[in-house]
Structure 1
């Protein structure tokens, strides 16, 4: 789920990009409260109305591209539809069988023992928690390669650190290495990932790494947000001082998980390519336009949410999930791991007391708004 909105963040490095991306998100929120649907200067059709956004994503008239970006590889090459079905079935089955409470314990204990960059620590903690689910626990070499990909390559994208040519070549080499290791892996994996066929060589390794990332990315980002809520008085414009954060321990874990996903959705926007001309409210979306759903805006829109910028898990006690709540998109292109993520995050919240001893030092001023919407840069220090 690539964030399409903070475009500036893709061209500037480090903290400058973080600040620019966050300012753009705040400005977009103000703009969308005045204009529910509009065409941006770069040509995107931006839909800030929850009803129109959900209708667009459900896409009953087949107006939008539906393939989740997770199954793209190389230069945006797409996995064939039949193979996508096989991969989705594998991931859904693995997620349904996975013990989320055991996984949450692994992730929380790993983060509590970590030091250094919060984002990297959360990525590796989340990775440890799903090793058996995704099959890379069967081979130490495979586990090491996956760890480098998540902890180094994806971490750089997450915190707006530009990848140079050497790092890009390293990522491609990792994909080839992973493909070779999958051939001899004892895990229960789809045939398409084990041997060359529909996918060959580096493409096969890259698709497997994308599958790992589809589970680990959002989990890690939400684990990092939870750590910030527990140790910072203000998080991305939200009051998380003592009275507020006490709700982490007094409200139902499922409600805390939903509120975390509302305020800090892993993807700040969902995008779909337009396949044929059609009307979206007052704006006509044209073929090859991009339709953009700014989830961050929908989740903080004052017309939908009382005290929209308050951390208030108790709001979920009575309210069903409204149309505006779509952290993992909706319809045919929705994130394949959405239900697993909510269960996993609720299980992490149940273990939140373990994170009480973290020593968290904020390094960046603004959230990282790039590949995913993640917390400001922070450092974990050894107690």
Structure 2
């Protein structure tokens, strides 16, 4: 059972401040929509009164920084058992929402704000590549009967259903109003019990051509060399180089320098090879890139070690920019992997415009 909350006014003899039901569930919903941190500071609102495929409406649909959804349902005038059954029904619908459906829900209610921008505002981070890998179910009520509390606890603790209840108490004193919040179960405990459930993420569809490449500049590689000789690269550990193996001739790559932005777009001409095998043309002569004039002082480090060697992928540049003119907008996709499929439509649309690709 949740801990009962008491409030006392100090000044002379302590005086209890009485609890009263809030005069309107819609008013509480409005407060949560305006500032979801009242419920949980780690959430952003995706939509309010969201229509489902079954002709019902979710009071609030929210999301956390990992891209997982939260169904928030107010008890209103339903019996406690009815609202628990309703939120479980919503879970069956939410579980199958695709990346595009989630962004459409947000866009319908926020036509002037892209989902990616709203996510960046809320969490100061780009949208994860996969959304809706998991979800939480939250029942909002002034109180629940012991039977319903037992049902929620049973679903959560015994079967890993990520369901919880939160209680809001409404207090008034000298014309001022206050809300107090308490949880049926510590949210951290609900998260732990749900970890045993499989995570099945929903990604945007990939166009089977475009890739994101993270180009970390430093002593092993410089953007000046990559522009001059036509390549992207990664290495000094297989974790950094192995994702380059995804790139195939004909693929298109958008190159991002971490912390700066996108600096180039081009077409892959050859698959990844170790640095010692990559050739370039210098003064009309073909030679290995390590024999060419380079800005990177240590590109050849570990060249004899297949696990640590730098690996290069030849690219025919469509357009490149200096690092000072890198393209970056709030909400654009970024990833720590050296190469990955670029699915994010918002990022592709903005880069298509900036690079003048005419698509």
Fold-level match, TM-score > 0.5? no
More helix by share: 1
TM interval, short-chain normalised: under 0.3
Scaled by the length of structure 2, what TM-score is found? 0.22
Higher strand share: 2
The higher relative CO (CA closer than 8 Å, separation ≥ 6) is in 1
What TM-score do the two structures reach when normalised by structure 1? 0.21
